[in-house]
Structure 1
């Protein structure tokens, strides 16, 4: 099990990053709430990771906060929730928001996320409400208003921001047509791709 990665951030292409560790590059998938907190390319970074081995692939998922990784692990234990959907859930809302929605049995908020219908949302509430109670007093949950791009963390040229945001949303499970509408609805000239993604996900809730 690979539980932590520490190295130099080489590439940022939401929702994936490349981290150089002693000359070896690790490709890591991240929820956008963690992605927003990354330093600039070329800076040192440390992520808590979860390693998934499948017949056709070996995948690393990374998180800035250890608590977020633990929540991800609880999510993928739920019936019908795999790593990709777990990543989508934690990209569409912060860990704190998700915990609150589950504890309040707010099915409508969960249904707003791609890949989650009413039955899945109801099942998540039933399966996770008691199991997630242990996170209730955590001091490490990043509020949604803090999970946003850090100043100066430009990933792509501004002209490519819309296309990169669209690509990221599709990778997170949104249909291309839906993702296009989400991006068009929030994009303003000069926006960085991270900001476009954050605002699009925020508007979708």
Structure 2
């Protein structure tokens, strides 16, 4: 079984992604919140996948990160939630927010997620509170992006097809190195971002 697909994005629609690899165009169901992190049409990107294969059906589900896929698998453990239901839930709330809700057992917050009623919320909390299977660095990543002065630079690198975690590391390294540069400190914010962007590309190309 394959772990991921890397190719050129050929189409992005609500909860759906088309990606072409070696002449084959794949039709992948993707949560909307995950779809936002995948490169734009015409740009090379990577999507982590899982295939549902039954007697009458074969469907491919995709995610921008391994943590998103892991959370998807966790939701499938809940009685009554199938792949499409999990995608619907994940399309309406970020992975970081959903992971925090599940870890804290906040039923009231979970009930506010579209498509999750009181009964389903109770089942999800009972099944997953304190039992999420992945290391939640997604929440750390979210906090980094929120407080990072160069979040736009990171987003630009991701749109070019670079892995977000690697882009964050490169931007963090470059911006830290430039803090001691007196000429850099005198630049406008736009000029600083442009400089960090160019140097980060060189860093990522190594």
State whether TM-score is above 0.5.
yes
Distance change in 2, residues 1:106/1:140 (3 Å): closer
- 1:80-133 Cα deviation digits (max 9, x unpaired): 11001111111111111111111222112222233321111011111111321x
2:136 alignment counterpart: 138
Select the structure of larger CA radius of gyration.
Answer: 2
Once the 2 structures are TM-superposed, how far is the Cα of residue 75 of structure 1 from its aligned partner? Answer: 0.8
1:159 alignment counterpart: none
Distance change in 2, residues 1:87/1:145 (3 Å): farther
Looking at both structures, which has the greater relative contact order when contacts are Cα pairs under 8 Å and sequence separation is at least 6? Answer: 1
What stretches of structure 1 move > 4 A for 4+ residues in a row?
A: 144-147
1:17 alignment counterpart: 17
Matches of 1:55 and 1:144, distance apart in 2? 43
SS in structure 1 at match of 2:138: coil
Once the 2 structures are TM-superposed, how far is the Cα of residue 46 of structure 1 from its aligned partner? Answer: 0.6
Q: Give the TM-score, by structure 1 length.
A: 0.65
Segments of structure 2 that go 5 or more residues without pairing to the other structure are: 147-154, 160-206
Matches of 1:144 and 1:94, distance apart in 2? 13
Segments of structure 1 that go 5 or more residues without pairing to the other structure are: 154-205
Distance change in 2, residues 1:145/1:17 (3 Å): farther
2:59 alignment counterpart: 59
Q: Give the TM-score, by structure 2 length.
A: 0.65
Distance change in 2, residues 1:87/1:146 (3 Å): farther
Q: Identify, as 1 or 2, the structure richer in helix.
A: 2
Aligned residues: 149
